[in-house]
Amino acid sequence: MVQKGPRPLVLCGPSGSGKSTLLKRLLKEFPDKFGFSVSHTTRAPRPGEKNGVHYHFTNVEDMTASIARGEFIESAVFNGNMYGTSKQSVDDVRCTGCICVLDIDVEGVKQVKGTDFNPLLVFVMPPSLEELERRLRARNTEHEESLSGRLEIARKEIIYGQEPGNFHIIILNDNLDKAYAELREFVFKNVEEKERASPFFEDAEGKVRRKIRLN
């Protein structure tokens, strides 16, 4: 995939690290500047989750076929369910001129790393595994088996996340306001400065558009 428009932003981190909360805050503060890439998943919707908003909810058969047709940038199996970023979802954001934001796991990060997708990679670190477990339990969205699977994956993700060179920044989420301020600063510095050189970019349809400003 040829990179068009602003550089995408990837948020990764263990389930319960707070990355979705940080992401929601960024989208709320800058609704015209960032757009969420809606992933596909085969897991069942949680109460309140809307199809096409939080995820495109699908099934194994359809998703496997779609991946085989080359319609996905990346895909992974997380805790027994399939997740993936379709090219269409990314293009849907890019054609608005917004910065595309992805919430994906470590396996997805490994796939997009080094490709011409060229995202900025953020790893959100929980303060400890104990705190992660406490947050996941308090969220009350997972049954015991899913919860222990998520904690097992978290251990591996934390090791990968902390290895030097795997991410552009590691944000410790021991305090939401502090973590958000760090994310915001990183985004301002890296997205905007790199985009400043030219005020225009080509969108997914090949149209020349003016780049957005973060302030």
User: Between the CA of residue 101 and those of 15, 38, 192, what are the distances in Å?
Assistant: 17, 9, 15
Catalytic residue among 46, 155, 210, 213: 46
Is the CB of 83 or the CB of 123 nearer to ligand 5GP? 83
Which of 10, 23, 99, 105 is close enough to bind ligand 5GP by CB under 6 A? 105
Containing H/E element for 117?
Answer: none
Between CA 154 and CA 187 the distance in angstroms is: 25
Q: Which of 69, 94, 135, 150 is catalytic?
A: 150
84 binds ligand 5GP (CB under 6 A): yes
Q: Are 20 and 54 in contact (CB under 8 A)?
A: no
Residues 183-212 that bind ligand 5GP (CB under 6 A): none
- Do 108 and 85 meet the contact criterion of CB atoms below 8 Å apart? yes
Shortest Å distance, C-beta 137 to ligand 5GP: 14
Binding mask 38-77 for ligand 5GP (x = CB under 6 A): -x---x------------------------------x-x-
Which amino acid makes up residue 54?
H
Structure tokens at 154: 């978290």
Residues with a known catalytic role: 46, 139, 150
